[in-house]
A and B are shown apart, each in its own frame.
Chain A
């Protein structure tokens, strides 16, 4: 266990930013999101949840993947170079850290996504324990512990100090690089902080949700359930839940004609949108009920069916607080009898 005074944290961030591209929660236009850190930015350490999750770093909302240029009769294909620079993401919460495992199983299983894999392999993830979990948090339902956020390095803010524990080889190597800035620390204070956080998580109103009625073998049981109609009836079909979600992974690939070249880009897609997975037949999912059902069946049934029972939700609660009509996965789970309170 290592530690650093909070007052010296900016020096540490500056050091990290010298040798890597550093992403952390910063405030822009009044809202906090993960962004590239520069010396002028303030690290919003107290912000529990950024609006968007940290997944942008590995899976940007939109990116060009290849471009095509035509000169007379010759067409040149210009693939985008893979990023190789080391990236450090600081201040990731336990839920977002777990979401990377879920995204890995999508993007890094064969055939691996080369862009995602390149970014993921060159990144070091530094997590921060949640000192003030909120009522919308329910990561415990998915076996996540906000007091032990994991990843390459995990940290805790206690009093005027940041405690630091390297977990992976990557994390240990980075800690070694910073050894002159970190001092040895006693574990006692961290243990106290962990117990304090655990006491809070026990009181979280949504942490008692039960997933026993969901899982990979529930398709037939749940697909035509009567509940979907009431649950989806007020859904306005926006993509807020999917775009703030750390585990939503669907994307679209389109071509954009700049007049000078063709840029093939991929961008996040949302199953809530009417043109999601639209093919020539034009009958993908014509009703909002079907789109709504797809989102929750994917997270609670189809994903576990294909990933050894793992659910693709981490209980971060972003959708709980940002849905314009306050409909969310917690309410879906409850309506299928998952309220264990």
Chain B
């Protein structure tokens, strides 16, 4: 019986301690609540509403009918029209559209002959996006007003599909750059989220704040070494990806360095902000996890951004990993230049500066 009493004493103590740790207690309630709502809506393996462009070289009535029927599948969302395939390819490079439907000059003759009517140019750097567009390959069409639905179905395929950047649809091509995003998010945020809290827990901070050091100096000094650590991590992942998984690198080293440094900055400063809010290393780790899971699930790493509902996309846009996922797929797999990807780079830079500013402001040199 005394054993039960001792177990009871431990249980009682744990419950009291847990209820006094506000952040842990909040996590207990918030994590299931938020994650369920967020991911229940956001995670949808059915890909819908991919932004695509139309290149109509025929200018025919049939082209407009085809475009409309493609749109009503809901797999794609026509967001632009381009005069030439070259223009459409440029839009693919910047990530503006994920695919373009090219309808040729001789569309009317092809329809009359019952041939393939057009070609999809697809950004294959996200395999789920590529797969979704491949389902349109043999979609039946209805080109005559009087004909029954799906009457037009060429023997070969309704559309040709050209998968750019990853023609073999190998998942590792998609996974390796994606892993850079996840690994950097995890390690960079964790490193700095613990950094300040550890000094506070060990008592170092009380001494440090009596010195003339300025908060910004402390912050920048704490971050800088980890930028190198992050770049080394990226080098290891890319090197292995190239050596073992044979993932081709299309971009320039310069672009890769620029975007990765921007993302490392964003992750580190986010960690720093966590560090100013957490009271113990345990809390800092919990908060990092709270950031990490959405970064994995909502950044486009596991599920395409384009397929998420609007609300989830707004949340996704607020996560640095989303922007870096776009950037690294652009640079790594499509060979996009930094100029083509400027909006996401500016976003990451802005995020870094804002986080650094807030963290510096929150960290004042008093014990009040």
- Same complex for A and B? Answer no
